[in-house]
Structure 1
């Protein structure tokens, strides 16, 4: 029986440690609309490299994909430093202007919107986001080596955990991009940084549910830090 107690204590210890240090959540970026009516890159040149000699209008279109870089907060944004929270490059999603709200349309291209960045640390409440609209110059699968910059947005800000989307619009000389973002906790994770883990259970290691803030609430008849101790029931008898 002694070894059974040791195993039980070990499991409970691991559970307590996991409850204290693990966290989990998602940063989501939802691209909505990208507008580039003139078919030009960030320098004002035609993506196709060809323009009408009379009107100056671009002949041909851009082949637009996006790169998204999420990283820790930087007071001075460095677009060349590593994307510490994640780095995603999409397939080609359209030509000059792209309506990205029809999510079903892009699934066949292997693109899921919103773009998700999972994290397994306490959300710090701040972030740096870089989104680049790129013209693919040769339909290459290697977008990083065959892309021309159309527009880049860079921002850093405070963002609390919330199910509500924050809508932004970034405008450049020839283009604009509308997008949303938010941070949410995964199921069973709570708190400002998604750092509180509470998973309801009713077994030998605990008998409880969870509050909206992730606090343990013992089921009826149980007590203790992890609701693993039965409450004593005192029965009074009266002799007549």
Structure 2
């Protein structure tokens, strides 16, 4: 076993012990995430490849991206349109270098509904109850995946990826860590990634029970 694997296992064990030591009857709360929208103006995946399987980084694609960035043409003129988009949310303990892989100690969700388009309005609220004293910090991963069917050649080339993720294609991944106190007010944030992809979301941690 590599040292990195040992260190990761020890970190996970440490976090479990911390949660166990802090677990007290009546102590706990709810982490809530309101995912409002996702924008992917160029219609490309995490490798800058068009969702229609056209290479965006070459030829007219790169020229068009430069024109969009400079405001010469509208992003709505892009021929790259994403479809069958699902979102994954993972909330876990604070990590200096955020690992997007499970376990997600606070909560994890993959949306049932698949969305089409480069501008997606959501408004969904995801709630995760926990039974420990809130430590004041957390890590949050939000991912957009495109569900796709691969031909035989693509299947062979991407077999290892398919074993890990199934027939999915990563559009973008946000991985952040935050300080957050318990309260009823929402905090808003807009995250921007490569190729101008953005997540617009609110989040909070509150005590159990009705919100006044």
Q: Taking structure 2 as the reference length, what is the TM-score of the superposition?
A: 0.65
Structure 1 residue 61: Cα displacement: 2.9
Distance 1:70 1:87, change over 3 A: same
Taking the aligned partners of 2:175 and 2:81, their CA distance within structure 1 comes to 28
Equivalent residue, structure 1, for 2:10? none
Q: Which has the higher helix share?
A: 2
Equivalent residue, structure 2, for 1:202? none
Larger Rg: 1
Equivalent residue, structure 2, for 1:148? 169
Structure 1 residue runs of 5 or longer lacking an equivalent are 1-19, 102-112, 189-240
CA offsets per residue over residues 141-186 of structure 1, 9 Å max, x none?
xx94122111111111211111111111111222111111001111
Distance 1:37 1:123, change over 3 A: same
Structure 1 residue 94: Cα displacement: 2.9
Structure 2 residue runs of 5 or longer lacking an equivalent are 1-23, 62-77, 150-163
Taking the aligned partners of 1:131 and 1:114, their CA distance within structure 2 comes to 13
Q: Which has the higher contact order (CA 8 A, sep 6+)?
A: 2
1:46 to 50, 58, 82: 50
Structure 1 residue 89: Cα displacement: 0.5
Structure 1 residue 84: Cα displacement: 1.2
Q: How many residue pairs get matched?
A: 155
CA offsets per residue over residues 25-50 of structure 1, 9 Å max, x none?
21011111211122100111011214
* RMSD over aligned Cα atoms: 2.6
Equivalent residue, structure 2, for 1:136? 147
Taking the aligned partners of 1:162 and 1:127, their CA distance within structure 2 comes to 15
Equivalent residue, structure 1, for 2:100? 79
CA offsets per residue over residues 106-129 of structure 1, 9 Å max, x none?
xxxxxxx21111112221111111
Taking the aligned partners of 2:183 and 2:194, their CA distance within structure 1 comes to 33
2:126 to 115, 118, 139: 115
Q: Taking structure 1 as the reference length, what is the TM-score of the superposition?
A: 0.58
Equivalent residue, structure 2, for 1:34? 38
Q: Is the 8 A contact 2:140 2:175 kept in 1?
A: yes
Taking the aligned partners of 1:177 and 1:167, their CA distance within structure 2 comes to 11
